[in-house]
Structure 1
Amino acid sequence: MRKVLLSLILVLCLGVLAACGGSGQTSKGGEIGEKKDIKIGATAGPYSDMVTKAIKPVLEKKGYKVEVVEFSDYVQPNLALGNGDLDANLFQHKIYMENFAKENKLELSELVIVPTAPMGIFSNKFKSVGDVADGSTVSLPNDPTNLARALGVLEDAKLITIDSSIDPLKASEKDVKDNPKKLKFTPIEAAQLPRSVESVDLALVPGNFALAAKMNLLDALQLENMPDDYRNRVVVNTKDLDSQLAKDLKAAVESEDFEMTIDSDFQGFGKPEWMKNR
């Protein structure tokens, strides 16, 4: 009986050891092996398309199973990331990310900047910036961040001059120093700007709203020379910044396959400095 009992104990111990060791290595977080089923959130339109067409295929070659989760607003993608429903998201620029994280007590970090649809000056009346007439009406975004961007585009087009003592990322209408053509500004909701092209002489339309309205970015009289702070980025929770997934995501965006897809399917998107300079 003693031999039988010892044999049973030995079998049980070997079974427990096999169960503990047979499924792979344990990660720092206590999970078994590397996580391969992931969810990436993006706003519906060009950025969910970018994840689907340019990022997902590269990750799938590395063995990941990628689900793209689409959102129709700019609040839920970060909340979903923060509570663990997403592994990463793509929809926001640096200023928005930092402000949202601070206001909502989230720890978010950018992983890599991606090509981004620029704001453009659109017009059904004029064929070029040089044709713009005195007293022309101009629709602009009414939110502070996009308003500053719009004024910067107008300054680059030499239609206005902004007070040089003002941070260009925070400029507003009151900071316009010179307005030689006496342009008349009408701030409205950014989502309404594509429709406003019909009723004003010039409309400053952010790229994502232009594309959602089936506008061609290359039809703009002038496109934004966008600072990297305004370009969208892949964002993860700060605690995951050094994870294998984060490394693979960054490598996917930096791959030749990614850039080839951008060149073929996302014409007019402005490339970040790292992509221009490599």
Structure 2
Amino acid sequence: MNKKLILGLALLVLAMGAVAGCGNNKEGAATNSQPAKKVLKVGAAVVPHAEILNFIKPALAKDGVDLEVVVLDDEGQLNPALAEKQIDANYFQHVPYLDSVSKEKGYQFTVTAKVHVEPIGFYSQKVKATGELKEGAQIAIPNNPSNEYRALVLLQKNGLIKLKEDIPDFKATPRDIVDNPKKLNFVEVDAAQLTRSLPDVDGAVINTNWILEAKIDPKSALFREEADSPYANVVVVRKGEENREEIKKLDKALTSPEVKKFIQDKYGVAVVPAF
């Protein structure tokens, strides 16, 4: 009986050791596994914003951030989506546009990084030089306040019109034109529809993202903004969240030398790095 008791105790000790060993292996496996990535949802316009974000996905993944790029049919909904916490950040707009909608809607947003400029340009399917524009030519321009001002300033810099001085808040309409030698007629069009309007007008001032999306060669612009444009496209987050670790990693990746080269190689004159 003693021998049987001793044998039983020995087997029990071995069994307990095996269980403990399995527990230690599980702990070791958990310790050696990678920590879960933090999901970061960023709303973006299709071109070039979403393309640039998709380019940095692998770098962010290595840095522990699972970047989810959110593209909406109506990019005008990207600010409401940010306000309603459907996304963590957005990247599709410049500061004058952000300021204008924030004043209207009361958004509490802040800018965390300047990434690129899309020089707005003047395009035409009917003339090859501004000197060919006839009196009374029809010109399409964006109908949102900040881009309408931007378009009119571009036309002024190229000698087609003159605006009254001291226009505040990046806002102007054709009513602010004080000199119009060619008596140009202006048609205010939703920015997303400007490329479609080209066959029906003598010329149009169009944002480069819509030109790229419509597969139009940006080099075909008769003239465009200079690279020092104040309309840099920015990363926007809710106030108070600018110091989140994931946001800082996003900004660092978007303003890296690799992204600068990607932008220059892929878009040429159509998109200019702003960092």
TM range (shorter): 0.7 to 0.9
Contact kept, 8 Å, 1:115 with 1:269, in 2: the verdict is no
Larger Rg: 2
2:81 is aligned with 1:47: no
Mean Cα displacement is larger for which, 95-104 or 193-202?
Answer: 95-104
Partners of 1:118 and 1:99 lie apart in 2 by 20
- What secondary structure is seen at the aligned counterpart in 2 of 1:169? coil
What is the identity percentage for the equivalent residue pairs of Structure 1 and Structure 2?
35
Aligned to 1:205: 206
* Change in CA separation of 1:138 and 1:83 when aligned onto 2, cut-off 3 Å: closer
- What secondary structure is seen at the aligned counterpart in 1 of 2:117? coil
Partners of 2:95 and 2:113 lie apart in 1 by 11
Aligned to 2:82: 81
- What secondary structure is seen at the aligned counterpart in 2 of 1:185? strand
Partners of 1:170 and 1:251 lie apart in 2 by 32
Partners of 2:112 and 2:205 lie apart in 1 by 29
Runs of 4+ in 1 over 6 A off after TM superposition: none
* Change in CA separation of 1:226 and 1:174 when aligned onto 2, cut-off 3 Å: farther
1:191 Cα deviation from its structure 2 partner: 2.4
Aligned to 2:261: 260
- What secondary structure is seen at the aligned counterpart in 2 of 1:268? helix
Q: Which amino acid in 1 is paired with 2:38?
A: K
Could you say what the CA RMSD is over the residues aligned between the two structures, in angstroms?
A: 2.6
1:270 Cα deviation from its structure 2 partner: 4.4
1:43 Cα deviation from its structure 2 partner: 2.3
* Change in CA separation of 1:99 and 1:216 when aligned onto 2, cut-off 3 Å: same
* Change in CA separation of 1:102 and 1:127 when aligned onto 2, cut-off 3 Å: closer
Unaligned runs of 5+ in 2: 1-26
Unaligned runs of 5+ in 1: 1-18, 24-32
- What secondary structure is seen at the aligned counterpart in 2 of 1:37? strand
* Change in CA separation of 1:139 and 1:158 when aligned onto 2, cut-off 3 Å: same
* Change in CA separation of 1:140 and 1:101 when aligned onto 2, cut-off 3 Å: closer
Please give the residue correspondences for 1:132-147 in structure 2 after superposition, counting only pairs within 5 Å.
132-147=133-148
1:37 Cα deviation from its structure 2 partner: 2.3
Contact kept, 8 Å, 2:140 with 2:186, in 1: the verdict is yes
Count, aligned residues: 244
- What secondary structure is seen at the aligned counterpart in 2 of 1:264? helix
Q: Which amino acid in 1 is paired with 2:157?
A: D
- What secondary structure is seen at the aligned counterpart in 2 of 1:260? helix
* Change in CA separation of 1:61 and 1:113 when aligned onto 2, cut-off 3 Å: same
Aligned to 1:94: 95
- What secondary structure is seen at the aligned counterpart in 1 of 2:195? helix
Mean Cα displacement is larger for which, 78-87 or 244-253?
Answer: 78-87
Partners of 2:227 and 2:74 lie apart in 1 by 22
Q: Which amino acid in 1 is paired with 2:48?
A: P
Partners of 2:185 and 2:101 lie apart in 1 by 32
1:226 Cα deviation from its structure 2 partner: 6.9
Q: Deviations over 1:180-218 (max 9, x none)?
A: 222222222222221221122111122222222221211
* Change in CA separation of 1:188 and 1:210 when aligned onto 2, cut-off 3 Å: same
Contact kept, 8 Å, 1:152 with 1:168, in 2: the verdict is no
- What secondary structure is seen at the aligned counterpart in 2 of 1:158? coil
* Change in CA separation of 1:126 and 1:111 when aligned onto 2, cut-off 3 Å: same
Partners of 1:141 and 1:108 lie apart in 2 by 24
Aligned to 2:192: 191
Aligned to 2:62: 61
Please give the residue correspondences for 1:95-174 in structure 2 after superposition, counting only pairs within 5 Å.
95-167=96-168, 169-174=170-175
Partners of 1:212 and 1:132 lie apart in 2 by 26
Aligned to 1:176: 177
Aligned to 1:4: none
* Change in CA separation of 1:80 and 1:174 when aligned onto 2, cut-off 3 Å: closer
